[in-house]
Amino acid sequence: MKDLILIKYGEIGIKGSNRYLFEDRLIRNMEESLSGINKEVDIYKTHGRVFVEAEGSFERIRERLQKVFGIVGVCSAKETELDFEKIKNAGLELIERELSGKPRTFKVETRRINKDFQYDSMEISRKLGAYILRNTEDLTVDVHDPDIQLDVEIRHKQAYLYASDLPGVKGLPVGSCGKAGLLLSGGIDSPVAGWMAMKRGVEIMPIYFHTPPFTSSRAKEKVLDLSRVLAEYAGGSLQVRIVPFTEVQKALNEKCPEKLLTVIMRRMMMRIAERITNNNEGKALITGESIGQVASQTLESMNVTNAVAQMPVFRPLIGLDKNEIKARAKEIGTYEISIQPYDDCCTIFVPDSPETKPKLRFVEYGEEDLEVERLIEEAVKEAEIITVEAD
């Protein structure tokens, strides 16, 4: 009998002829995510399922796998020979692990792929269920809504049994749907936006606009800390771009109408982020904006901001309100970092009464004295790349 982990994946299973590409990417991401735990781990695919084997305790492995996108459930499993005595023992051991002293209900569900096995599916479920009932206390059968489901698969060479999956983060494997630049500030929203893009299989490249001395090095550290949390979902590491933005801000303050400073600053961020993303084979930009939160988040402002980008700009939070965003930030572990009080350039360089419904031609006119291309080139050239590792 062998202990192992069985990985359940949902959406990938319906990917038709491309399925293997998603599975291979999932396995690669799992390998990456487990590479830091200092343990010999074997991940393999067989019979359309992914298994993980390792020596010793699985606790840390399970924790990490619960953060790999594409995984729906992480199940404790056992592999046995096709010997019904061994199958019964394995089933009992798995169920006993789930019992925590309080009364619980269970059900056995069997799939028999190997039709030569001595019992059919119904008989296996019944006999195994009866054996477990005889050998445990506080358990009753509930075939409709059990607390614990014990699954049995009778294959040609061996049997697999598994129970109780720990929930995964679902979605699609990161990297299976391309790469995008994430405009990552130190706030609550943009880390959540990045997480949501990763959930849809997008590899993210965080880009932070840093404005020393107006924004402190603590503000930059905060963005790196947020990236470390996101890296837990990105296979363990992320490359963050820190873009020096002071020259741009100064030029804006000197040369642009005050009322339009916010929207022009956004346009500069978009231009620079697009250039960096393009240089790194990224195909889209992601921001943490949602409609109506602050002055710059009107449809008019977004249109004027988008006008400088050729790439699609995705705003995954568009349909969420602040409470929903906060709840998600707490769930993924970025909230406590985001609420640390270090100012971002967007909060420092805000005009008293910003234009909330800017018109493109006025904004273009307002930018006329800016040396846009030079500013972009310099910012891109001076951008620092910092690789962060998940804790």
Ligand X SMILES: Nc1ncnc2c1ncn2[C@@H]1O[C@H](COP(=O)(O)OP(=O)(O)OP(=O)(O)O)[C@@H](O)[C@H]1O
Among 50, 188, 202, 242, which residue interacts with ligand X (rule: CB under 6 A)?
Answer: 188
Q: Report which of 92, 85, 152 is spatially closest to residue 122, judged by C-alpha positions.
A: 152
Q: Report which of 151, 128, 157, 176 is spatially closest to residue 47, judged by C-alpha positions.
A: 157
Secondary structure letter of residue 283 according to DSSP:
-
Residue identified by tokens 């891109």 is: 380
- How many chain residues interact with ligand X (CB under 6 A)? 20
33 binds ligand X (CB under 6 A): no
Distance CA 363, CA 266 (A): 12
209 binds ligand X (CB under 6 A): yes
Map residue 330 onto helix, strand or coil. helix
Give me the least distance between CB of 194 and ligand X, in Å please.
9
Annotated binding residue 44: no
309 binds ligand X (CB under 6 A): no
Annotated binding residue 297: yes
72 binds ligand X (CB under 6 A): no
Distance CA 26, CA 15 (A): 13
Among 187, 201, 235, 358, which residue interacts with ligand X (rule: CB under 6 A)?
Answer: 187
Give me the least distance between CB of 129 and ligand X, in Å please.
52
Subset of 265-294 contacting ligand X (CB under 6 A): 269, 287-289, 293-294
Annotated binding residue 178: no
189 binds ligand X (CB under 6 A): yes
Among all residues, whose Cβ is closest to ligand X?
Answer: 187
Give me the least distance between CB of 256 and ligand X, in Å please.
17
Annotated binding residue 118: no
Q: Report which of 278, 72, 68 is spatially closest to residue 174, judged by C-alpha positions.
A: 68
Amino acid at 223: V
| Count of other CB atoms within 10 angstroms of residue 171 | 25
| 314 Cβ contact list (under 8 Å, min separation 6) | 180, 197, 284, 285, 286, 287
CA 343 from centre of chain: 26
Subset of 333-362 contacting ligand X (CB under 6 A): 344-346
Among 183, 240, 251, 302, which residue interacts with ligand X (rule: CB under 6 A)?
Answer: 183
Annotated binding residue 208: yes
Give me the least distance between CB of 226 and ligand X, in Å please.
10
| Count of other CB atoms within 10 angstroms of residue 229 | 24
Binding-site positions for ATP read 183-184, 208-209, 266, 288, 297
- Summarize as ranges the residues that interact with ligand X (CB under 6 A): 183-185, 187-190, 207-209, 269, 287-289, 293-294, 296, 344-346
